[in-house]
Structure 1
Amino acid sequence: MDQRAETPAERPPEGAAPEPHVGATLRRLRKQSGLSLQALAVASGVSVGMISQVERGLANPSVRLLTALRRALNVSMQDLFGEVPADAGVPGSDPSFVRRRENRPVINLGSIRKELMTPPDRQNLQLMILRIEPGGESGGRALSYPAEKGGFVMSGRLTLTVNDQRVELNTGDSFCFDSALPHSLCNTGDEPVEVLWIIGAVQFDRHL
C-alpha cells in the first residue's frame, strides 16, 4: 500500500472539473510502457492514489504533477494531449507545418490552461498559450530540466522566478532562460495572464 503523503504539488487545483481525456491518455500511455501504477509512482514521485484518481478522471492534475508523470513515461507533450500526426496527404488538408486555431488541443489544469499551437508532427519546438488565472501558479516546487525556454506576455502581469531571481513582467515583456535552472511562474494579480510559451533545443524530454 502506498504510504507517501500527498504533497502540495500533487493536489489537484480547485475550481475546475477534471479533464477526462487526460486521464484516459495517461492510462493508455502507462499501459503501453508496461508500467503498473506502483512502478509509475516510483518513477514519477507521485502517489499511487493520485495517479489512479487522475486516470479515472476524479482529479485534475497540476502542471507539476503532469510534468512528473510525462517525464517518467518518457513521452512528449503531443502524446499527452492525445494527438496523432496530421495526414498532409489527404486532399484539402493543410500542410504539416500548419496548425489552425480551431484545431488547437487544450488541457485545462484548473488555474492554468494550456493551448498547444505547435503542429502535430513538430517535436523539437513547442509553442503554447498559457492562461493563468489570478492566484494560479505552476506549483510549490521549482521546475528544472534540460531545455531552452522563452515567452512573451500577451496580457496581464506575470511573476517569473528563475534560480531564485524573481521578476514581475508586464504586457509586452519577453524572457528567455535555461530551463535547467529551477523556475516557476505565477499570477499574483487580479486579472488573468496570457503568455506565449516557447520551448526549444530539446530532442525528447519536452514540457510545459
Structure 2
Amino acid sequence: MDNTDLNHGLERYIGNTIRELRNKQDLTISDVSDLTGISRGMLSKIENAQTAMSLDTLSRLSRALGVSLSTLFRNYDVPNGGAQMVRQGEGMEVVRRGTKRGHTYHLLAYDQGPNKQFEPFLITMNDESEVFPTFEHPGTEFIHILDGVIEYRHGQKTYVLKKGDSLTFRGDIPHGPENLIKLPISFLSIIIYNTSNTN
C-alpha cells in the first residue's frame, strides 16, 4: 500500500468520524460551519474524504464537536477483532480417557491451525462413586474451582480445593481428582502448551 492509499484511508476515517460525531449531537453542517468558521463546502468535502486538512482545521473541528484531537484518531488503524465466543452450555463435550458417568468436560475454545496453544475446559462432577484415572500431558495446567470441594492429586501431593481456590502445575507429572468431597463440583481447567513442542 502506498502513501496515497494510506492518506486516503485516513481522510475517509476522519470524515466518517466527524460525520458520526456531528450526527450524534444533532448538528448540521451549517451549525459546524458557524462554530468553526470553515465553509459548508469545505466541511462537506472533509466528511466525504475529498480533501486533506491541516492540523488547525482538525483542531477547530474537534473543539466544535467537544472532543479531543486524540479522540478523533482513537479507532484508526485498530486491527479487526476475531474473538471466539462460546455461549453457556454450548461448549463441545469431550470424552477424556477413563471418564465415565457423572463427569463431563466442555471445551470452551477451539484452536484453529496445526498447533494447539491452550485448551480451556469446564469440568463438572456429580457422581461420588466414580473412580478417576490419572492424567499426563505436555504443558502447564491451571485449575480454578467454581463450586464444591475436591481433593486433587499432583504427583505425590494432594490438595483440598474449595470454591475460589486455584492450582497451577506441570502437566507431565501424573495428576487428577483424588476424592470428591462436596458435590456438585465444577472447575475451569486451562492447559497451556509449549508450542515449540507440539505437533
| Structure with a larger share of its residues in helix | 2
User: Which structure is richer in relative contact order (CA contacts within 8 A, separation 6 or more)?
Assistant: 1
TM-score by length of 1: 0.46
| Structure with a larger share of its residues in strand | 2
